[in-house]
Amino acid sequence: LKIAKYTRDYLLNNYQDVKVRLSRTTDVFVSLGNRTRDANNWGADVLASIHINAATSSATGYEDFIWNGTVSQNTRNLQNTIHAEMIKVFKNFRNRGKKRANFHMLRESRMSAILPEFLFITNKNDAAFLKNDSNLQLIAKHLAIGIAKHLNLKHKTNKPEPKPSGGVRTGNRLYHVQIGGF
């Protein structure tokens, strides 16, 4: 949840023409169906379903998933861009690779979707890294940068932009990003 909030904040504070919604803002359970339905109904351009991995073994490292069915080149590009950003953060951890799986959020979303697994909470070294708030902020920053690169978002300038009247955007496209921490 912290990573999701930090990602939202980084996107909103640093990029133009982006709206971000979280599947949840407090530590409450939201069903998979409701999460996906909300993202689909909102019309998100990108969905990031944020996870921390767990295993009974001594597994370690970063990996990310897209759906194992037919996906667009845009979805594959999202995974490539996010993965390239995230391995900068996890350079001292095992790179478990870019993977595909039949996960609900990936399968049922109508937009490009990615499910990053940020290390293993069950691994002592991974867990120690994840307990440091500055590391969570670093993860979120690079996830946001990856999303921004994928969507070709422009950095904010120092001077405020005029707001369109009546809530209608003129000119530039407004991108919607759905983020959930699970």
Q: What residues are labeled active site?
A: 117
Using the structure block, give the residue that is written with the tokens 């690779």: 97
Handedness of CA 104, 107, 108, 111 (dihedral sign): positive
Q: At what angle do helices 73-89 and 133-151 cross, to 10 degrees?
A: 150
- Report the alpha-carbon distance of residue 121 to residue 109 in Å, rounded: 27
Sort strands 46-53 and 95-101 into parallel, antiparallel or unpaired.
Answer: unpaired
Q: DSSP of 43-62, one letter per residue? A: T-SEEEEEEEE--SS----E
Burial of 2 (0-12, 13-18, 19+ CB in 10 A): middle
Cα 10 off chain centre by: 12
